[in-house]
């Protein structure tokens, strides 16, 4: 059931080529970069993002960003005002960490609301290096955004390959 007025869109491609008020990064707790989307965002966004992340580490986030939380920085040279960094859970077969993954979407939208961002682009958080099965990652992402208490007008899921796009498409249609 849709409980907000947020439009959900799907795009296949590279999130660093998107235009949005805020682009979400699937980061890690260190906030200091990595591979996957994180590497791509820092590469294309330039050094201002890392500089802002270092400042966060030196101030409120001395121990890093906890799993399921989100924090914003400049978007540097990306076509966005902000990057919202969130830390997805590593997938586990022994422990259900779905709540933490849902929290990434909820917290990112909460930060977007605080910033006044109206359009937000998300990657498939945790569905790469962190090993979350794509169909389940897509289900959690779409259900959580649909149920979120947010003023964000448009959420675009930017899926890197066709399989990811199709997994999300099955959830929205
Ligand atoms: N645009 C859109 N999606 C992308 C892009 C891109 N440029 N690049 C990869 N993807 P991942 P995670 C897809 O691994 O699983 C980093 O090292 C990718 O195909 O980026 O949350 C961080 O620092 C997959 O579907 O994020 C952390 O240590 C999805 O984005 C760790 O990886 C997420 O894959 C986080 O792992």
What is the number of the ligand 1 atom nearest to the C-alpha of 127? 15
Paired with 8 in beta bridges are 155
Pick the closest to residue 168 from 131, 129, 130, 125 (CA basis).
125
In this predicted structure, the answer to whether residue 24 has a pLDDT above a threshold of 70 is yes
The count of other CB atoms within 10 Å of the CB of residue 62 is 8
Q: Which of 38, 135, 136, 161 is catalytic?
A: 38
Distances (CA, A) of 13 to 22, 125, 131, 138, 162: 16, 15, 20, 16, 9
Convert the chain into a string of H (helix), E (strand) and C (coil): CCCCCCEEEEEECCHHHCCCCEEEEEECCCCCCCCHHHHHHHHHHCHHHHHHHHHHHHCCCCCCCCCCCEEEEECCCCCCCEEEEEECCCCCCCCCCHHHHHHHHHHHHHHHHHHCCCEEEECCCCCCCCCCCHHHHHHHHHHHHHHCCCCCCEEEEEECCHHHHHHHHHHHC
CB of 89 shorter than 6 A to ligand 1? no
Q: Are 6 and 101 spatial neighbours (Cβ–Cβ below 8 Å)?
A: no
CB of 26 shorter than 6 A to ligand 1? yes
In this predicted structure, the answer to whether residue 1 has a pLDDT above a threshold of 70 is no
Distance CA 42, CA 115 (A): 21
The count of other CB atoms within 10 Å of the CB of residue 131 is 14
Q: Which residue, by CA, sits nearest to atom 27 of ligand 1?
A: 28
Q: What percent of the chain is modeled with pLDDT above 90?
A: 97
Q: What is the pLDDT of residue 41?
A: 98
Reply yes or no on whether 38 is catalytic.
Answer: yes
In this predicted structure, the answer to whether residue 28 has a pLDDT above a threshold of 70 is yes
Q: Which residue, by CA, sits nearest to atom 21 of ligand 1?
A: 126
Q: What percent of the chain is modeled with pLDDT above 70?
A: 99
Which architecture characterizes domain 7-172 according to CATH?
Answer: 3-Layer(aba) Sandwich (3.40)
The rounded Cα 142 to chain-centroid distance in angstroms is 12
CA of residue 97 to ligand 1 center, whole Å: 18
**Radius of gyration of the CA atoms of the chain, in A:** 15
Global confidence as pTM: 0.98
* Tens-digit pLDDT profile for residues 44-103: 999 999 999 999 999 999 999 999 999 999 999 999 999 999 999 999 999 999 999 999
- pLDDT-based confidence at 2, cuts 50/70/90? low
């Amino acid at each position: 059931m849709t409980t907000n007025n947020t439009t959900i869109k799907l795009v296949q491609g590279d999130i660093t080529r998107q235009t949005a008020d805020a682009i979400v990064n699937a980061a890690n707790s260190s906030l200091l970069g990595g591979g996957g989307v994180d590497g791509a965002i820092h590469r294309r966004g330039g050094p201002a993002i890392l500089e802002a992340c270092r400042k966060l580490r030196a101030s409120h986030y001395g121990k890093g960003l906890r799993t399921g939380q989100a924090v914003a920085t400049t978007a540097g040279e990306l076509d966005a005002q902000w990057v919202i960094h969130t830390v997805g859970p590593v997938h586990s077969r022994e422990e259900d960490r779905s709540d933490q993954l849902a929290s990434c979407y909820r917290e990112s939208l909460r930060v977007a609301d605080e910033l006044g961002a109206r359009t937000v682009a998300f990657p498939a958080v945790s569905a790469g290096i962190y090993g979350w099965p794509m169909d389940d990652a897509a289900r959690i992402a779409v259900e959580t955004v649909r149920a979120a208490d947010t003023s964000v007008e448009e959420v675009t899921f930017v899926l890197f390959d066709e399989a990811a796009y199709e997994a999300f498409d099955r959830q929205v249609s």
